[in-house]
Amino acid sequence: MIGGAAGGRSLPVSRRAAGIPSMELADLMRLANEAGAIDIALGIPQLGPPVSAVTAATAALSSGLHQYAPPAGLPGLRRMIANQFSSSGRGWDVDPGTEVTITCGATEAIMIALLSTTDPGDEVILLEPYFEVYPGMVELAGAIPVPVPLTQPDWRLDMAAVASRITSRTRAILLNTPNNPTGSVLNRGEIRDLTNMCVEHGLACISDEVYERFVFDADHVSPASVPECRERTIVAGSLSKSLRMTGWRLGYCVAEPGLTTVLRRVHERTTVGTSHPLQSGAAAVLPEDFCTAEMLRERRDAVSARLSGMGFDVQTPEGGWFVLAGVGPHSASSSQLARRLVTEAGVLVAPGTAFFSDRAEGERWIRVTFARDPDATDKALELLADFVAGQDR
């Protein structure tokens, strides 16, 4: 119970919910909307979903597919995901009937993975910097987030640091490769070390692979490719980025049958299932409809070079949709810089404070996407350059 209701009564709010802060970008987005600022903070694709998906979803609506789909997901969509997964080089011939579950985006996939593998008071290791929602999701599950920093400047895994944070209460490792916000990609040796640790300590390995199709300068390596760890691995994926349908909220879990049985029980008690007509639309896409890294390589290079030329500290991302740029001489506070950019330059960037447990470390960074409309992004970068140049004069 927390205070704040009329008459001095306490609100019926749980401690775990009350302790979760608002999303860092929420207030900045409101200011950006009021100011008409150009958004280069959020990862929203330039184009809409494939025509094949929209046509099939429209046909599904017109034909009357308005009621519940099977909770595990439409068989056709599960087959499509299983086929894509099985042909991805992971060495796993996935069974769509017993190893794929369709979820409301990768966010739900991660949430049910956490609920399925941890109990209140357990600990979950997070590789830091991390996607903003991870700590709150772990806390909602009743578990305790334990951040382990990646090593700078190239954001590599420090296995000694990971080992030092494992305790008798550790139950899972939540990783994200390619990483949001850094764009770093865990290599084969790092994945092998992590999976060996999961096997040795009996940990679940929850792998967020939303950006797996967007790897530029490395190979995407999944924990699911390590047979010894497969029985304790849950891969969370999404169609939001690869099919340019962030608003359709279609994600999935891939796990061996034993884990999938439990995941589906939790899924049935959270969202029950996902949109029937939208699943029909996604199931109709063709292999050539999926986005590839090559579609964004030029933009990644251009945005990285432009930010570097302004004096930001940039490691060109190996994958993903974002550049994490050190603010360096431009500001002692990324949150203050982000607010000034909205109000004075008309540009929205993400302050780094959202991605670090140590707010002081987060104040050193901003995140910029290179997946938005190129013309709008270039205009935003011009405004950003003018702002930085004006500060330096």
DSSP-assigned states of every residue in 305-316: HHHHHTT-EE--
Report pLDDT digits (tens) over 110-144.
Answer: 999 999 999 999 999 999 999 999 999 999 999 99
Q: Is 40 helix (H, G, I), strand (E, B) or coil?
A: coil
Rounded Cα gap, residues 104 and 351, in angstroms: 27
Radius of gyration of the chain (CA): 21
Given a contact cutoff of 8 angstroms between Cβ atoms, the answer to whether 388 and 329 are in contact is: no
Residue 200 to residue 222: CA distance in whole angstroms: 18
pLDDT of amino acid 322: 98
The reported pTM is 0.95
Q: Is 19 helix (H, G, I), strand (E, B) or coil?
A: coil
Q: In Å, what is the CA distance from 73 to each residue of 102, 261, 268?
A: 5, 13, 11
Domains of the chain: 22-45+292-392 (3.90.1150.10), 51-289 (3.40.640.10)
Are the beta carbons of 155 and 191 closer than 8 angstroms? no
Q: Roughly how many angstroms between the first and final C-alpha of the chain, as a whole number? A: 52
Beta strands at 322-326 and 313-314: parallel, antiparallel or unpaired? antiparallel
Measured between alpha carbons, how far is 385 from 389 in angstroms, rounded to an integer? 6
Q: Are 190 and 201 in contact (CB under 8 A)?
A: no
* 11-54 pLDDT per residue, tens: 899 988 998 888 888 889 999 999 999 999 999 999 999 999 99
3-state secondary structure 54-107: HHHHHHHHHCCCCCCCCCCCCHHHHHHHHHHHHCCCCCCCCCCCCCEEEECHHH
Q: Taking the CB of residue 164, how many other CB atoms lie within 10 A of it? A: 10
Which residue type sits at 26? A
Helices (H), the chain: 15-18, 25-35, 51-62, 75-86, 105-117, 134-140, 159-165, 188-201, 257-268, 276-283, 294-309, 334-340, 359-362, 374-392
Rounded to whole angstroms, the Cα distance separating 175 from 7 reads 45
Of 334, 336, 327, the closest CA to residue 358 belongs to 334
How far is Cα 291 from Cα 277, in angstroms, rounded to an integer?
22
Nearest to 221 by CA among 161, 175, 162: 175
Per-residue pLDDT of the chain (393 residues), as tens digits, is 555 555 556 789 998 899 888 888 888 999 999 999 999 999 999 999 999 999 999 999 999 999 999 999 999 999 999 999 999 889 999 999 999 999 999 999 999 999 999 999 999 999 999 999 999 999 999 999 999 999 999 999 999 999 999 999 999 999 999 999 999 999 999 999 999 999 999 999 999 999 999 999 889 999 999 999 999 999 999 999 999 999 999 999 999 999 999 999 999 999 999 999 999 999 999 999 999 999 999 999 999 999 999 999 999 999 999 999 999 888 889 999 999 999 999 999 999 999 999 999 999 999 999 999 999 999 999 999 999 998 765
Sheet holding 100-103, edge to edge: 100-103, 251-254, 233-238, 204-208, 170-176, 123-128, 144-149
Picking from 129, 195, 136, the residue whose alpha carbon sits closest to that of residue 350 is 129
DSSP 3-state of 2: strand
Q: Which residues pair with 112 in a beta bridge?
A: none
Nearest C-alpha neighbor of 333 from the set 310, 357, 366: 366
pLDDT of residue 214: 98
